[in-house]
Amino acid sequence: MQKKKSLKDEIIAYALVALGSLMFAVGDVMFVNPYHLAPGGVYGLANVFNALFGWKISVAGICMDIPLLIIGTIVLGPRFGIKTIVSVILIPVFTYIIESTYGYDPLIVDDIFLNTVVAGLIYGVAIGVIFRAGATSGGSDIISMIIHKYTKISLGVLVLIVDSCISLTTLIIGDIKLPIYSIILIYIESKIIDLVVEGFTTYKTCFIITDQIDAVKNFIIKDLERGGTCFPGIGLYQGQERKMIYVTLDRSDLVKLKSNLRQLDPNAFVNVIESSEIMGLGFKALPEE
């Protein structure tokens, strides 16, 4: 039974890689390229080469992606799985089919801002789906990983720098508005990726310092039906020992807690932190190897 389940999961994962790769190709050829945008990545640079030299996006993309994968594997080790390789192959294949049959005509005519928003949505869903399948789209992310290995600069900062530099290459085409629209596209894309990968549910982590530890604890357990952790702490000012509750809640449970906490302990101290990802019992399952 476990083998059947694993096979089913693998089939779904590869189907998601194919779907994400197709959506990426559609977004690039029909929305990004017609307006000469370059929202970072290898295919952003491929769009610039297409505008300047007439090179096919698919050919330019695969000619940059494969060497980057090889260099990345040599420098970083074999961290790029089969799904990533499949994605790197499928994206130029779908791109080639679309640009050879459809061409580079814009799907949304004479509205670059609306086009940018739609392109960001499509890119975000496409890459988010690929990420959900356990793959990446390769490309400029590998450059960021290599630089990160030797400089220890934050990977997020490096990705932003690399993609922004690629977006600025659109200035060669001669329109100062292009990098601005490209950066807007990157921003929309990043937000959609987060929604696709993490979902719409947001979680908050609360640290509650209270003298009414039993009342607050019982409310969390019985009314919110949540667990948590209770541990002692010592105040810096008076040196008194007080207990602290650590609990992670979704948005609706947090509202209930705040509305009842004044009655439970009006002198309670609460620190609420945005949690980008929660894994474990009661939340998202831990990733499998």
pLDDT digits (tens, 9 = 90+) for 39-97: 988 999 999 999 999 999 999 999 999 999 888 888 877 767 788 899 999 999 999 99
Global pTM exceeds 0.85: no
Position 31 confidence tier, pLDDT thresholds 50, 70, 90: very high
Q: Whose CA is closest to 95, among 59, 131, 123?
A: 59
Predicted confidence at residue 181, as pLDDT, reads 94
Does 276 or 103 have the greater pLDDT score? Answer: 103
Predicted confidence at residue 76, as pLDDT, reads 79
pLDDT at 1 over 50: no
SS3 content of the chain, % helix, strand, coil (to 5): 65, 10, 25
pLDDT at 187 over 60: yes
Question: What single string gives the DSSP state of each residue in 25-65?
Answer: HHHIIIIIGGGT---SHHHHHHHHHHHHH---HHHHHHHHH
Domain with CATH 3.30.70.120 in the chain: 203-275
CATH topology of domain 203-275: Alpha-Beta Plaits (3.30.70)
pLDDT at 4 over 50: no
pLDDT digits (tens, 9 = 90+) for 120-155: 999 999 988 988 887 877 777 788 878 888 887 776
Predicted confidence at residue 201, as pLDDT, reads 65
- What is the average pLDDT score of the chain? 85
Does 30 or 262 have the greater pLDDT score? Answer: 30
Does 205 or 198 have the greater pLDDT score? Answer: 205
Q: What is the 3-state secondary structure (H, E, C) of 152-175?
A: CCCHHHHHHHHHHHHHHHHHHHCC
Contact criterion met (CB below 8 Å) for 212 and 264: yes
Residue 76: its H or E element: helix 57-76
Contact criterion met (CB below 8 Å) for 119 and 39: yes
Residues 147 and 165: their CA atoms lie apart, in Å, by: 15
SS3 253: helix
